[in-house]
A and B are shown apart, each in its own frame.
Chain A
């Protein structure tokens, strides 16, 4: 059972970092088996070099037309990010998603675009002026997330999850090591302890009750 959470401020993570090393560096003297380390998906993607400057993308006509359809506050609202999304899944699958979204609208159903084109497209962050120095980048979703959480467990002995959390309380667990209770975890992450933009806490340690009890006992002995 989890009984507490600890957001950890890190340096600005770039493509030069190995996310497993980052987790080990910042949680090595804090987390222990039984705890869970939650990592924000955007920094995993950045460490994988999946942050792209829009100037390096040449949007086609289709991207220029299609970017007018998503909500203007959401991602994919600019031609470069739309182009990147199309390249991520291939134009044919992307267009099938668009068609599904159109049909879905006719019957008042939402979400068909991502169901058909790929849910990982929902992880693309536009260049929204937050998370400096990646504020001018399109940040794609991370790859090989399951392998990453398993490597983290192998190296640190601690369970790990990669999360996508927004500020309206929606928590998606993209990958988790065996034995993680996603439902319990979600209640601890709803208010987005990773924060956004200036609050640079991409790692959160969720502490198990047994470990908390040991910590309190140790504190009393000091």
Chain B
């Protein structure tokens, strides 16, 4: 290491974690060569970290997070030795912080995600992994079957929703064929607030790609939820936006239940078939759907 340098901020990252006391947190970590002086305060729409005696040794600008609470983090060198790190939040959050003087030095800001658990706790959500058994659904140009890939996405969605305190029911957890009527009846039986069906798009045209979210016909609330999920899934997956549309197949779900069908990507496109094999897209798709639900319940109560 060079002698006599100012502390240099070298990395910044964030992650959703469980705290030591069981709390659910968005954690942002600023790494630097040495500790520096700083102030941390709440500002309109976020939290502001102002560092003095430090320099940025990483790209300045906005880092997208989109974890449902922390939207983005903006890093800016505001003077020759002053740095501003602005965290923009989707919802209000209590925060605390700690400094670790090891190497690299770490300033850790923990944002409490209780607002999100408050929104979703107790909500009854049916997660439907589409197709199953003899009903393969779409098939990728190499070999992937829709019925198989929607299952891990549904499991990831179940896991995150349970962490928010939602009551989750899966329509299937094995490779079994279930009729549309049985799926609809399950949603009615558990008195679901929302029915989220996971699918992939399939097309005879192999150049078709991207994600879409379909909604129960003639249901404004389901249409609104579909819009929010679509927005959030596009942010997460960065795939082509195929928009939202009514899905007649969801008409069998009781009208009092929000009902959407998320076509995560298009399995018949070779690139997106390979995407679907990866754990990354399976996790991000679930996160995008949860973010859409958070947005819906935050705006509609």
- Enumerate chain A interface residues (CB-CB to B < 8 A): 3-4, 6-11, 26, 29-32, 35, 54, 67-68, 72-73, 77-80, 126-130, 132, 135-136, 195, 197-199, 201, 207, 211-212, 214-215, 218-219
Which residues of A sit under 8 angstroms from B208, Cβ to Cβ? none
Q: Can you list 15 A-B pairs, Cβ within 8 angstroms, ordered by A?
A: A3-B103, A6-B33, A8-B58, A26-B57, A26-B58, A32-B1, A77-B142, A79-B142, A80-B270, A201-B11, A211-B1, A215-B33, A215-B34, A218-B3, A219-B34
CA gap between A204 and B270 in the complex, in Å: 34
Contact at B2–A29, with CB atoms within 8 Å?
yes
Most B CB contacts (10 A, CB to CB) among A6, A30, A132 go to: A6
CA gap between A73 and B275 in the complex, in Å: 10
Contact at B10–A128, with CB atoms within 8 Å?
no
Which residues of B sit under 8 angstroms from A130, Cβ to Cβ? 278, 280
Contact at B274–A207, with CB atoms within 8 Å?
no
Which residues of A sit under 8 angstroms from B223, Cβ to Cβ? none
Of the candidates B11, B274, B281, the one whose C-beta lies within 8 Å of that of A78 is B274
Please tell me the number of chain B residues within 8 Å of chain A, measured between CB atoms: 34
Interface mask (B73-100 → A, CB under 8 Å = 1, otherwise 0): 0000000000000000000000000000
Contact at A7–B271, with CB atoms within 8 Å?
no
Which residues of A sit under 8 angstroms from B34, Cβ to Cβ? 215, 219
Chain B, Cβ-Cβ closest to A128: B278
Which residues of B sit under 8 angstroms from A129, Cβ to Cβ? 237, 274-275, 278, 280-281
Q: How far is the CB of B295 from chain A (nearest CB, A)?
A: 21
Contact at B59–A7, with CB atoms within 8 Å?
no
Chain B, Cβ-Cβ closest to A25: B57
Given A6-B10, A30-B8: A214 and B274 within 8 A (CB)? Answer: no
Interface mask (B267-295 → A, CB under 8 Å = 1, otherwise 0): 00011011101101100000000000000
Given A78-B142, A129-B275, A129-B280: A9 and B1 within 8 A (CB)? Answer: no
Q: How far is the CB of B149 from chain A (nearest CB, A)?
A: 11
Given A32-B2, A78-B274, A212-B103: A10 and B59 within 8 A (CB)? Answer: yes
Which residues of B sit under 8 angstroms from A68, Cβ to Cβ? 142-143
Task: Answer yes or no: B13 CB below 8 A from chain A CBs.
Answer: yes
Which residues of A sit under 8 angstroms from B144, Cβ to Cβ? 72
Chain A, Cβ-Cβ closest to B272: A129
Most B CB contacts (10 A, CB to CB) among A7, A10, A54, A128 go to: A128
Contact at A78–B275, with CB atoms within 8 Å?
no
CA gap between A7 and B1 in the complex, in Å: 14
Task: Answer yes or no: B232 CB below 8 A from chain A CBs.
Answer: no
Which residues of A sit under 8 angstroms from B138, Cβ to Cβ? none
